[in-house]
Amino acid sequence: MRTVPDISSFLKPLEDAIRLQLLPSISGHPGCSADEWDLLSLPCHFGGLGLINPTKVSDSQFDASLLITASLKDLIIKQSVCARPPDVRCVKAQFWDAVHLRYGWKLLNVPSHCVCGVSFTIDHAMVCQHGDLTFVRHNDLRDITAGLLSRVCSDVATEPPLQPLSGEVITPKSANRQDDARADIHARGFWGRRQSAFLDVRVFHPNAPSYRNSSIPSVYRHHELQKKREYGERVREVEQASFTPLVFSTTGGMGGEALTFYRRLADMLSRHSSTSYSGTLAWIRCTLSFSLLRSATMCIRGTRSILHRSNNASPEMGHIAGPRDF
């Protein structure tokens, strides 16, 4: 469909095979009317199964292929020297991991036990604190968000210190009262003109044992309220600013307050760069999703063991970097 034009009529046998054989075999539904076939061919987020009708999309697929490969075609014609592509084997392995994670298939070539001594499973890999891989996951989302905010807000900073308490009474028992308390991000002018906004990121694994008896929306809300109890009143009363928790799941979702935040951010970015709101929001979501996917494969394939100083090493050799140094 992407390489040969005007072939929709030749794809009719393929359409019949999908509609009359494949769909009944995977759905248990013996027949499929024309209207049902139109519904099932829609993308999943529109209620379909994503099984495209080849006779209806072949022409658009060819046109899209021409558009996407136009710049590459120009380079080939000009015989330009392109940058060396990434290692194919590495990309292939990451793609395999991503597909296995998406569909819950058993991963290949993973250790039988974690460095902490327990059996190595996907659920354990996503929450294990050894090697600080979960901190890298958190920090990547923090830095991406701060980078986007820096385009439309002033005084953007990561890990901003909060003002120490000076007699203020903060009522929640779980509130952070430490003098060296920090939020994850500060930005001025996001929710209101000249108003400071503090944000804090949290990533949880929805398949952790403690969440298996709870609905996903309730877990998102639980973490949002927990973050607000920890920072909300202190930021409001001492900093005279707003506080927004940005809660993500390792599977790619985000909480209600994070959705509201990134919609507002997409609106500001689209107006700033004169681009479409929908395209900007889709780009932000794609960026965040890829960050979470990279962190998931990192938690599975990353090294958690800590290198130790050799017995023959002298003190003059200096500091050996550990996981927290990166």
User: Per-residue pLDDT tens for 172-204?
Assistant: 888 999 999 999 999 999 999 999 999 999 999
Q: What sign does the CA torsion over 189, 193, 198, 204 have?
A: negative
306 falls within a domain: no
Q: What is the pLDDT of residues 16-65, one digit of tens each?
A: 898 888 888 877 777 778 888 888 888 877 777 788 888 888 888 888 88
Lateral strand order in the sheet of 196-204: 154-158, 185-188, 196-204, 242-249
Q: Which two tokens stand for residue 279?
A: 């395209």
312 falls within a domain: no
Distances (CA, A) of 237 to 78, 162, 163, 167, 229: 63, 12, 11, 11, 13
The Cα 59–Cα 63 span in angstroms is 6
Q: Which helix (H) or strand (E) holds 131?
A: none
Q: Are residues 233 and 148 in the same domain?
A: yes
Q: Are residues 54 and 201 in the same domain?
A: no
Distances (CA, A) of 77 to 70, 74, 80: 11, 5, 8
Reference 145, options 154, 158, 134, 133; nearest CA is 158
Q: Are residues 294 and 187 in the same domain?
A: yes
Q: Of 24, 56, 78, which residue sits at a domain end?
A: 78
289 falls within a domain: yes
Q: Are residues 284 and 186 in the same domain?
A: yes
Q: Which helix (H) or strand (E) holds 170?
A: none
Q: Are residues 197 and 255 in the same domain?
A: yes
Q: Are residues 130 and 276 in the same domain?
A: yes
Residues 6+ apart with CB under 8 A from 62: 1, 2, 3, 4, 5
325 falls within a domain: no
Whether 59 contacts 7, CB under 8 Å: no
Reference 216, options 246, 245, 258, 249; nearest CA is 249
Report how many domains make up the chain.
2
Strands (E), the chain: 154-158, 185-188, 196-204, 242-249
309 falls within a domain: no
Q: What sign does the CA torsion over 304, 307, 290, 70 have?
A: negative
The pLDDT, as a whole number, for residue 77 is: 80
Q: Are residues 24 and 134 in the same domain?
A: no
Whether 202 contacts 248, CB under 8 Å: yes
53 falls within a domain: yes
Indicate the residue type of 156. Answer: V
The pLDDT, as a whole number, for residue 225 is: 96
Q: Are residues 156 and 58 in the same domain?
A: no
211 falls within a domain: yes
Q: Are residues 250 and 196 in the same domain?
A: yes
The pLDDT, as a whole number, for residue 96 is: 82
For tokens 């949290």, the residue is 202
Q: Are residues 165 and 68 in the same domain?
A: no
| Weakly modelled stretches of the chain, pLDDT under 70 | 79-90, 306-326
Reference 139, options 226, 220, 202; nearest CA is 202
The three-point CA angle 275-202-235 to 5° equals 85
164-203 per-residue burial string, b: 16 or more CB within 10 A, e: under 16: ebeeeebeeeebbeeeebebbbbbbbbeeeeebbbbbbbb
Residues 6+ apart with CB under 8 A from 52: 41
Q: Are residues 71 and 167 in the same domain?
A: no
Q: Of 43, 78, 113, which residue sits at a domain end?
A: 78
Q: What predicted TM-score, i.e. pTM, was given to this entire model? A: 0.69
Q: Are residues 68 and 169 in the same domain?
A: no
The Cα 127–Cα 150 span in angstroms is 30
257 falls within a domain: yes
Reference 292, options 204, 211, 199; nearest CA is 204
For tokens 């009522």, the residue is 171
Structural domain of 128: 122-301
Coil/strand/helix, residue 202: strand
What CATH number did the domain enclosing 290 receive?
3.90.320
